[in-house]
Amino acid sequence: MFSLKILFVFTPLIFLFTCNPATETTTETDALESLEGSWRMQSYKVEGEDSWRQLSGSVIQEKYITANHFAWIQYETEKDTIYGTGGGTYNYNQNTHTYTEDIKFFLPAGSNELGQSIPFDVMFKDGKWYHTGYTLVFEFDPETGKNVVIDSSKIEEIWERTDATSSDKSLVGTWQLESFKDHGDSIRTDYPEFVSIFKLVTPTHFVWIHYITEQDIVLAQGSGTYNFDGETYTETLKSVYPSGSNQVGTIMPFKSKRENDSWFLLGNIKRMEQDASGEMIAKDSAKIDEVWNLFPGLGS
C-alpha cells in the first residue's frame, strides 16, 4: 500500500490534473449543459512546473458527468489495468464559475480523499474544460490519533469532450441498482444499504461503481461505450476492476426496458476461469437480471 507521502507525490499522475486559465479570456458556455457528458484528459501540470504534460502511451483518463454525479477513471487501453478512480456528487455555481467535487469513493485506498470537498475554478473554451483547484494533504498525528491537514496539492487539468456528436439521451442519468436475480434464483435480491452500486450513463459512455458506503473500499468497477436501439442496450467494456477478469473488450447485449424511473436489464455475461496453463477461458455464462432506479431527484 502507498504511504500518504508517496500517494500524494503521485497524485498528479493518477488522480486529477488541471489547468489554470487565469490568463485566458472567453465567454463561458451554458454552465451545467457544458459539463454533463463524457470528457477525456488532454493535458495536466505537475505542481511546480510550467510545462504541460500528457498521459503516456496507451494510458487515458476519462470523466463521466450526469446531472449531479461524476466519476473519473484512469486505465490502460492496451492492458487490463486500472490505475485510479474516484467519484461522487458535484455542484456547479455558474455565478462564481466554481465546480465542487464531493468525493464518495476513491481508488487506490488509503488516500484520505474520501469525504473531501474540492472546489475548482473553471472555464470553457474551444470545446475544452479548464479547471484548477487544490486537494488537501494529510499526515497521521500520533498524539491525537487523527489525520491532520499539513499541506495542499495544486491540481491543473484540461479536459476535452468526447460525446459532442451524440444525440441519444434516453438513458442518460445516474442509476442506482435496486435488485437483481442471482444464478437460478426465482426472486430478486435487494442490496443492503451499506453497499452502493451506481451506473452513470452519458450519451455515449457508461461507468458502474460498486463500493462500500462511507468506507474507503471500491469493490468493483467497469466502464466503456454503449449502443441503444430502443430495445437492446449493448455495452462494450473498456476497463474492469479488479484486473485479471479477462472481460475487457467483451460486448454484452441486454434486453432493455424502461418504465418511468425504473430500468430493467436482462442478458448474459461470460464467466471466465483460469486453466492449468494460466489462460483465461470461458467457463459458462452468467445471467444478468437487474432493476435500476433513476437516482432520486435526477431526471434524464
Extended strands (E) in 1-127 = 37-45, 59-65, 69-76, 82-93, 98-107, 117-125
**Collapsing DSSP states into helix, strand and coil, what is residue 6?**
helix
% of the chain exceeding 90 in pLDDT = 42
- Set of cell numbers at residue 150: 499539513
Which pLDDT belongs to residue 246?
A: 75
Residues 6+ apart with CB under 8 A from 184: none
Verify cis geometry, omega within 30 degrees of 0, for the bond prior to 242: yes
Cell 452468467 sits on residue = 286
For residue 65, what is its C-alpha cell?
458527468
Q: Which is more confidently placed, 136 or 287?
A: 287
Residue range 60-102, pLDDT digits in tens: 999 999 998 999 999 998 888 999 999 999 999 888 889 999 9
Global confidence as pTM: 0.79
Exposure letters 58-84 (e unless 16+ CB within 10 A, then b): ebebbbbbbbbbbbbbbbbeeebbbbb
CA 31/CA 285 separation, integer angstroms = 44
Q: Where is mean pLDDT largest: 5-9, 80-84, 247-251, 268-272?
A: 80-84
Half-sphere exposure in the Cβ direction for 272 (13 Å, CA): 12
- Please report the sign of the dihedral spanned by the C-alpha atoms of residue 222, residue 226, residue 228, residue 231: negative
Q: What single-letter DSSP state applies at residue 18?
A: B
Between 80 and 299, where is the model more confident?
80
What is the C-alpha to C-alpha distance for residues 89 and 19, in angstroms, rounded to an integer? 21
Neighbours of 27 (CB within 10 A): 7
d(CA 294, CA 300): 8
Mean pLDDT of the chain: 79
Gap between the Cα atoms of 33 and 298, Å rounded: 14
Fold of 173-294: Lipocalin (2.40.128)
Residue 14 banded pLDDT, cuts 50, 70, 90 = very low
Task: Calculate the CA dihedral of residues 120, 239, 82, 69 and round it to 10 degrees.
Answer: 30
Q: Copy the grid coordinates of residue 237.
A: 467494456
pLDDT score, position 295: 87
Q: Looking at residue 34, what is its pLDDT?
A: 66
179 in Cβ contact with 271 (< 8 Å): no
What's the number of CA atoms in the CB half-sphere (13 Å) around residue 212? 7
Specify the pLDDT at position 19.
42
pLDDT tens track for 109-134: 877 777 888 899 998 888 789 989 88
pLDDT in tens, 196-206: 899 999 999 99
Say if residue 292's pLDDT is above 80. yes
Q: Give the domain ranges of the chain.
A: 4-66+95-161, 173-294
